A and B are shown apart, each in its own frame.
Chain A
């Protein structure tokens, strides 16, 4: 376990790639949870995590150890990415493209685990209200997946569509819900978030 502070790791990462890896290992999962709880969308959360780390890596030389904590700087990059996502409705891939990083699909098993990061219970009630405003296909997908707790394969079977299609319906529905809940002023964050 690297005992250096985040700021020291960021400064050292200019010449030492292992320092950035240490920083990544320290904050990757927390950042993923940060995005998952704000987007309610596992796919978007994973992509935002990848883009944020790519952006942080590309611009790590601009970080200066002048009192701003390294993790605060990292979450500054994350919030910038999140803001762009909510404005444009899609995740940027510019930093990953610049670094020559491939855009990888999210493995199916990760979808369940990312959703586990989001504690749906506190917002379940608000979701029921907001879910009525969604298109019928997305409503069904969300009910089967979120309220009934079915697996994606069961959802796909129930809706007579492919598993990918079912995942997309849930993903889009959740994104719409996140925006609807934001409009209602519901905070989807907890103290555990960065």
Chain B
């Protein structure tokens, strides 16, 4: 420079050396990146775009994960409901996959010698069974039975070929009867679509579903299995206790000599008898529901639109629209949060790598 300031000349030399040092270490690594004088650097717009892209990716991952979860629950449901898959697999034994929790001794005894539905189990019979168990000392294992009581219901919608509605409707009725069931109710609309409510033995439900699917194209299939084993066992247990009470009241009534005593015992007898009948009625209903599955069959001709929710169309509600909007908003937020959870480990690793790179650069600059 050769200025009149020695200091400025020295400064120029120092800057030159700094430039040489910089070129030395970055020359090889950054040569390609710096060949363009207008090297790209992320501005605020790029950062904002990257942030939005991150949220979109997170949302997509969240939605995908939710779908995955839904599939999983369907799978689980299919296992409970008897493995009727959408791809048309063969049905398995109805409701065989459900295990029943260990029962107490009395329940097992009752189960070992099941009385017919609604039959009276006498106190003596129970006592004799207890005694028999004591005499054998439990040496004879009680055979384990499938004690599960499962109510199976379902809905199926089949789209039948054009002009095939009448035949399909008749066939559906035939399928119900062939399986040992019956048509509880049926309704046919004018638009070549109709609904049947059929009741068939539970163990033949899956077979019937397969046959119904063969009537046309499956549009919808839902099978549910409700385990009522606990309620059933509870009712049986209460029934046994009440019957014991009834036996006792009868004996006391025979032994009673006073009018007031007989009157009081008689009142008590009618109370217990009423309760016994109520419970037997409930057991009958449960047994009926367990024995016979209820299947709602909807048959629709090809080209006929599925019935819409008529109420919603007739009474469009701002309240319900707002609720749906809020649910949609929260759903998107939830999906983004779930997706960020999936992305977090990746972001942390990327941050660590970036930080190390910056640290390395800084050290090289100072060395």
Contact = CB atoms under 8 A, between A and B. Distances in A.
Interface of A: 11-12, 14-15, 17, 20-21, 24-25, 28-29, 32, 46, 49-50, 53-54, 57, 61-62, 64, 96-102, 104, 106-107, 109-110, 113-114
24 contacts: A14-B34, A14-B39, A15-B35, A17-B19, A21-B15, A24-B15, A28-B3, A32-B5, A49-B8, A50-B11, A53-B11, A54-B15, A54-B18, A64-B38, A99-B18, A99-B365, A100-B18, A100-B367, A101-B15, A107-B7, A109-B6, A110-B6, A113-B4, A114-B5
Interface of B: 1, 3-8, 10-12, 14-23, 34-35, 37-39, 41, 362, 365-367
Contacts of A54: 15, 18
A32 B366 CA distance: 26
Contact of A20 (B1, B10, B19, B366): B19
A6 to B, nearest CB: 15
B16 A17 contact: yes
A28 B39 contact: no
A134 to B, nearest CB: 27
Contacts of A99: 15, 18, 21-22, 365
Contacts of A53: 11, 15
A11 B37 CA distance: 6
Contacts of A50: 11, 14
A99 B365 CA distance: 6
A117 B35 CA distance: 40
Contacts of A17: 16, 19-20, 23
A40 to B, nearest CB: 17
B5 A21 contact: no
A15 B34 contact: yes
B236 to A, nearest CB: 83
Contacts of A64: 38
Task: Give the interface SS of chain B, mostly helix, strand, loop or mixed.
Answer: helix
A58 B22 CA distance: 10
A14 B12 CA distance: 17
A14 B10 CA distance: 22
Contacts of A20: 15, 19
A190 to B, nearest CB: 20
Contacts of A110: 5-7
Contacts of B20: 17
Given A24-B12, A113-B5, A61 B18 contact: no
A14 to B, nearest CB: 6
Contacts of B38: 11, 64
Contact of A57 (B4, B18, B35, B41): B18
A49 B22 CA distance: 21
B5 A29 contact: yes
Given A15-B34, A98-B366, A100-B366, A21 B16 contact: yes
B121 to A, nearest CB: 91
A63 B48 CA distance: 21
Nearest to A50: B11
A109 B8 CA distance: 12
A29 B21 CA distance: 25
Contacts of B21: 99-100
Nearest to B6: A107
Given A14-B37, A15-B37, A17-B20, A28 B12 contact: yes
**By CB atoms of chain A within 10 A, which of B8, B10, B17, B367 has the most?**
B8
Contacts of A101: 14-15, 17-18
A107 B10 CA distance: 10
A186 B325 CA distance: 64
B34 A29 contact: no
**By CB atoms of chain B within 10 A, which of A12, A20, A28, A53 has the most?**
A28
Contacts of A61: 39, 41
A97 B12 CA distance: 16
A94 B269 CA distance: 101
B14 A102 contact: yes
A102 B11 CA distance: 9
Nearest to B8: A28
B366 to A, nearest CB: 6
Contacts of A62: 41
Given A57-B15, A104-B14, A110-B7, A12 B365 contact: no
Nearest to A108: B6
Contacts of A46: 7
